[in-house]
Structure 1
Amino acid sequence: MAYKPEVLSQCAPDLIYCSSQIPVEATCLNVRQNIVSLVMTYEQEYRQSIEAPENFWTDKARALPWYRFPETPLRQDENGIFLWFSDGEMNTAYMALDHHIEQGRGEQLALIYDSPVSNTRQKYTYLELRALVATFAGVLKSKGVEKGDRVVIYMPMIPQAVIAMLAVARLGAVHSVVFGGFAPNELAVRIDDAKPKVVVFASCGIEVSRIIEYKPLVDRALSLSSHKPGSCIVYQREQLRVALESERDSDWDELMEKATPAACVAVKGSDPLYILYTSGTTGKPKGVVRENGGHAVALKYSMQAVYNMQPGDVFWAASDVGWVVGHSYIVYGPLLHGCTTVVYEGKPVRTPDAGAFWRMVEEYQIRALFAAPTAFRAIRKEDPEGEKILNYDLSSLQTLFMAGERLDPPTYQWAREKAGVPVVDHWWQTETGWAICANLMGIEPKPAKPGSSTVPVPGFNVQVLNETGEPVRAGMQGVIALKLPLPPGCLPSIWGDFERFRAGYLAQFPGYYCSGDGGYIDEDGYVFIMGRTDDVINVAGHRLSTGEMEEVLASHPAVAECSVIAVKDSVKGQVPVGLVLLKDGIEIDEDRLQTQLVSLVRQSIGPIACFQRAIVVSRLPKTRSGKILRKLLRQIADNQSVSVPSTIDDPASVAEIEAIMQAKGLVG
């Protein structure tokens, strides 16, 4: 981007925006940031973020319109929690909507909704989206929602999910979005933990071949939960309208017709914006907390630094608002940066075919597309030669981004060749909220190495440690850890349970956040993530607890003991398989048992678990103290060299399990 001298002359470092005479696209801040991008190398940018993090992030915070700019960028509270921008005052919904309208961007498209499963398309300008958000904030306010209150949102990929999230943020309240269709007991656990004042849900979700009614799931969850929200608000979709049977339930549209729009409520930078639950190894989900200030600063920075987006660009994250990608890069990131975001209710295939993603790129002039590798494996499976791509004009597309699971080199090569644009594999977690490692397309793109998520993003001090917490040499595998303090945008704690946060992330290596992932850094500084070191598996980009599935399998009256492991899958990356021991004297057909166990998991966790295989075994490899050797089972499944520990109780069990898994075709 070129800038005229008269534009540059008006810039000052303490200004957020230049005078109204300068086009919004060439604001003072954008000028300064783009000049920095042109003259700063990645190494210089990264070094500044590590050596002087408070100065670095204070500078990035100036890109946002605070009510009161923070004077203390970073502090620790009495529990040792690191808090970014805690004394700043702001409102995330204001930053994402109202501010852009005030800067003259009200008629720009803010959100595009495309739903091939319902044959619906809608577009919302910043003005239109702000009006709906303010009105629904008024609805929530009429139900008693105030600053700090929680609201659970249980919705499919429809605009109302985004509107509800932003409306909660507008009131300074805290939302907790639960993936639409999650099983009732999973929803109940989250309701009990978050204790919401209101639950907002849609009447149904739409899959390729069926409609999923949500109200029975919500009703069942509320019957199971100890906490009883005061109100439920139902958005009635035309594909399925449900009866509202109690005073607890209200109709979204009826409430919107009589609501008074609500103003933005100021919050501190350290006040929570949302709670997002992620699987834990114990089976109990962890409520990841995201605070307002650091979250906004990190996402605003990432939109330019990682994704190379400019205000007005169309950005599409093909995810779901129930996951962290949806929170960060469907809702908040693009809108904070003044982009147009896309809400897509469909699949990469079968809605109607493997050309669905490419049709979206052409129709909406999408500049960057972000999806899990699973999506592109599904497209490749149905269209291996990329013939569907030839039907569409992809000239607007500059980059494909992938994350959520390891991007295997064959999928990388296929996407790079067929789409004809750079493919960026970047690594991050629900806990961090944005990329830990990436190829920074907005700073200094580097040559890609298939299988690597490239280099650490500024702010993340990435180390590979051995079991004693010592850094290992280049090329050696170990545990990936992040030196504290974490940059803005990362979780400061677990909702209501700092001790669980400390024990789960900080205790293993004092002074570091333990990611739970293993890998190595090569001689060029490229980071390679090889997989989990705990008992959480990654199914199509969704983290699921094997411990939780084991609890479900063990509830079957025929099962004495079990272990759930991940096996490789050509489309989903990993899928779970259960190894079960029967109780003495029990005789049951293995196929019948498998059908029953699959049904149990679907009822308790939901179809998202993709649990379809259960194998009866006569014994499981254990230590003499009785601990199942899950790492050894994972090595068998991954066709790795098996390391049998000296503490094993029955060495012959290893060969037996290996033979069974080989015979069943479960060894990758």
Structure 2
Amino acid sequence: MTSKYAETYQSWKTDQEGFWERAASEIDWLSKGGTVFAPDQGQYGRWFPDWECNTCYNCLDRHVERGRRGQPALIYDSPITGQQASYTYEELLDRVQAMAGVMQDQGIGKGDRVIIYMPMIPEAAMAMLACARLGAIHSVVFGGFAAHELATRIDDATPKAIIAASCGIEPGRVVAYKPLIDAAIDQAGHKPETCLVIQREQQLAELKPGRDHDLGALMDEELAEGRTVPCVPVKATDPLYVLYTSGTTGQPKGVVRDNGGHMVALKWSMSNLYGIDPGEVFWAASDVGWVVGHSYIVYAPLLHGCTTIVFEGKPVGTPDAGVFWRVISEHSVVSLFTAPTAFRAIRKEDPEGKLISEYDLSQFRSLFLAGERADPETVNWAAEQLQVPIVDHWWQTETGWCMVGNPLGLGRLPVKPGSPTVPMPGYDVQILDDAGHPLAADTLGNIVVKLPLPPGCLPTLWNADQRFHDAYLAEFPGYYKTSDAGIIDADGYLSIMSRTDDIINVAGHRLSTGAMEEVLATHPDVAECAVIGIADKLKGQLPCGFAVLKAGVNRPHEEIEAELIKLVRDQIGPVAAFKIAVTVDRLPKTRSGKILRGTMRQIADKEEYKMPATIDDPAILDEISEALAAHGIGGAG
């Protein structure tokens, strides 16, 4: 099939408003305004400013009304608990209305914030949709985050309620959520009025009278009564959710997603980018705590009339490296979207791909990778084993959907290893030097997107317009700064080379080294510290912390290093994968006092490096190299 990409992209460039107005015809609107884009509103303009809609209606009600009543909407598969469940569009709508009824009875309504702190269970998706139905603004916090991180989000979002589960289940252990929530509420200045808890049989939570309620029991009552809750009309520009992502200061950034543009972009992407038809089974093997889970576990598949999968498991160990193939075979998945980390783990456990041959994957036709760099070795292994197109595509929490990819729905383009291919309509991607001047093809520079951003992208940060402007728009006026560096070749293919700030990518999770440094600095024996991301074959990157101890500290270094690892685990959570702490006598710095983190990373990754011209004392680099070598990392450059 000849790709229609070039003509589609050109049609967007020729008439941007007309392009997105046509795409908007796929959504059911309560009312349409006369304006598609208002350039004078918001930080860079707003899409569909006077239009009214409801996201939950578009995900559920309209499909029930138009022939998908009995089609599976959501399949729950939990190899960790051995449980499975399937909900038709009608059944999912009933449960979402029941949950919305419970929330309504607790006084939750349009504009209220609700934090969702849940594992990968069906009720997590139901809670998001119930919020959308009421016009409430959800903020999902990944269950792996510690009490302190949850508390910072409570204070920023000021939620009326928290919707939670009693526990999460990891291979070999149960993680009680309620004590973490209670500790977070104790730490937070803002106190939510209500906590609605799904009690899981693996560990029941102790409910505090007055504030805490058994959500499952209350939902059962609503279902028995057949409670219906009408969809609340919201403006297209009203927030659907706030999702917190790591900020370079360690303070979380609340990415705002609006209702209207979000639906338009996601619906467009399902057919044109992913090549999926309504009625098919699409699986994003992510977590609802991350943006991929929001966009492609919950909203996009349901907007498109697909069947989506909520998977509570791991790519290996639940029970083996064949679990992905079992899920694909058992549930007739046509396309999988996951992080390269998952495939590195599978390849490590089953390098010959023997487990793949045990399952019928005849209907499976595409694999999408995103969240971190997809190394050619992993991509080639997956392509050889699965014999389907492997699509590496690039986007961010901030954009909510793909910026650069290979659009299977428009016709697959030639693949260049290491490149996620070409910009999607809506994204005018350019490479600028530090002064903001365009660079020639194949020249490394700052990856930016010419404003305005398309529908679906963040309009601002939660209660932080100035921070949004300073973080994304100020450095390159007229452009959105991605904080990634890369090149565009003569064919228009983008290659991403590195981050330009201190965000590292651990198994697809963007984490701030600055936030980890703030935690390490609280240790009473630490004088100063630095955290870098070092290359890891399985997770892409791992954080490595360096600590200079205060004078007079005579304790064993191994003991302090163990305390530092525990400190980060307690304050940020296991998701940080912080396992390497190295005590050193001093850190390499420029004469102006800037820590040379880039050079330290090059030493750890055994890369050649040039001696920084501004270094204060070159001998320190040898000390860093020796300290890393003592921990089995890196070597001299």
Spell out the pairing of 1:128-207 with structure 2 (5 A cutoff): 128-207=91-170
1:99 aligns with 2:62: yes
1:327 corresponding residue in structure 2: 294
SS in 1 for 2:553: coil
1:514 aligns with 2:484: no
C-alpha separation in 1, matches of 2:526 and 2:27: 56
1:267 corresponding residue in structure 2: 234
270, 286, 296: which one aligns with 1:303: 270
CA contact (8 A) 2:42 2:459 kept: no
48, 54, 59: which one aligns with 2:11: 48
Spell out the pairing of 1:341-380 with structure 2 (5 A cutoff): 341-380=308-347
What is the deviation of 1:123?
0.3
What is the deviation of 1:213?
0.6
SS in 2 for 1:284: coil
1:120 corresponding residue in structure 2: 83
C-alpha separation in 1, matches of 2:369 and 2:46: 29
Segment of structure 1 superposing worse, 546-555 or 626-635? 626-635
C-alpha separation in 1, matches of 2:116 and 2:594: 39
1:434 aligns with 2:401: yes
1:509 partner amino acid:
F
1:252 aligns with 2:219: no
C-alpha separation in 1, matches of 2:536 and 2:181: 32
1:550 partner amino acid:
E
What is the deviation of 1:456?
0.7
1:453 corresponding residue in structure 2: 420
SS in 2 for 1:179: coil
2:260 corresponding residue in structure 1: 293
1:7 corresponding residue in structure 2: none
What is the deviation of 1:585?
1.4
201, 205, 226: which one aligns with 1:242: 205
1:280 aligns with 2:273: no
Deviations along 1:321-351, one digit per CA (max 9) or x if unpaired, are 0000000000000000000000000000110
What is the percent sequence identity of the aligned residues? 57
What is the deviation of 1:251?
0.6
Spell out the pairing of 1:469-508 with structure 2 (5 A cutoff): 469-508=436-475
2:135 partner amino acid:
G
C-alpha separation in 1, matches of 2:616 and 2:5: 51
SS in 1 for 2:139: strand
Segment of structure 1 superposing worse, 75-84 or 236-245? 75-84
1:269 partner amino acid:
A
2:146 partner amino acid:
A
What is the deviation of 1:548?
0.7
SS in 2 for 1:537: strand
C-alpha separation in 1, matches of 2:464 and 2:241: 15
Deviations along 1:44-102, one digit per CA (max 9) or x if unpaired, are 11122223211110110011111112421111355534211121110000000001111
1:18 corresponding residue in structure 2: none
361, 367, 370: which one aligns with 1:394: 361
Deviations along 1:12-53, one digit per CA (max 9) or x if unpaired, are xxxxxxxxxxxxxxxxxxxxxxxxxx8872111112222321
CA contact (8 A) 1:428 1:436 kept: yes
C-alpha separation in 2, matches of 1:71 and 1:316: 37
SS in 2 for 1:375: helix
SS in 2 for 1:240: coil
1:443 corresponding residue in structure 2: 410
SS in 2 for 1:404: coil
- Count of equivalent residues: 631
- Relative to structure 1, the CA distance from residue 147 to residue 642 in structure 2 (aligned partners, 3 Å threshold; closer, same or farther) is same
The TM-score with structure 2 as length reference comes to 0.97
CA contact (8 A) 1:181 1:214 kept: no
CA contact (8 A) 1:294 1:488 kept: yes
1:75 partner amino acid:
A
Deviations along 1:113-145, one digit per CA (max 9) or x if unpaired, are 000111100000000000111111111111111
21, 24, 46: which one aligns with 1:61: 24
1:394 partner amino acid:
L
2:569 corresponding residue in structure 1: 602
2:447 partner amino acid:
I
The TM-score with structure 1 as length reference comes to 0.93
C-alpha separation in 2, matches of 1:78 and 1:420: 47
C-alpha separation in 1, matches of 2:33 and 2:386: 43
CA contact (8 A) 2:38 2:46 kept: yes
2:381 corresponding residue in structure 1: 414
1:298 partner amino acid:
A
What is the deviation of 1:633?
2.2
What is the deviation of 1:616?
1.3
SS in 2 for 1:632: helix
1:532 partner amino acid:
R
C-alpha separation in 2, matches of 1:52 and 1:665: 56
What is the deviation of 1:637?
3.1
CA contact (8 A) 1:567 1:666 kept: no
2:182 corresponding residue in structure 1: 219
1:35 corresponding residue in structure 2: none
RMSD: 1.4
C-alpha separation in 2, matches of 1:349 and 1:243: 32
1:30 corresponding residue in structure 2: none
1:228 corresponding residue in structure 2: 191
588, 613, 618: which one aligns with 2:580: 613
What is the deviation of 1:662?
4.5
SS in 1 for 2:333: coil
Deviations along 1:442-474, one digit per CA (max 9) or x if unpaired, are 002112112110111111111111111111111
Deviations along 1:189-220, one digit per CA (max 9) or x if unpaired, are 00110011110000000001100011000000
C-alpha separation in 1, matches of 2:220 and 2:376: 52
What is the deviation of 1:521?
1.1
SS in 2 for 1:367: strand
391, 405, 412: which one aligns with 1:424: 391
Segment of structure 1 superposing worse, 325-334 or 49-58? 49-58
Deviations along 1:126-176, one digit per CA (max 9) or x if unpaired, are 000001111111111111111111000000000000000000000011000
What is the deviation of 1:665?
3.7
CA contact (8 A) 1:476 1:521 kept: yes
- 4+ aligned runs moved over 6 Å, structure 1: none
* Structure 2: runs of 5+ lacking an equivalent: none
SS in 1 for 2:410: coil
* Structure 1: runs of 5+ lacking an equivalent: 1-37
Deviations along 1:236-276, one digit per CA (max 9) or x if unpaired, are 01111122132100011232234433110000000000000
482, 492, 495: which one aligns with 1:525: 492
1:11 corresponding residue in structure 2: none
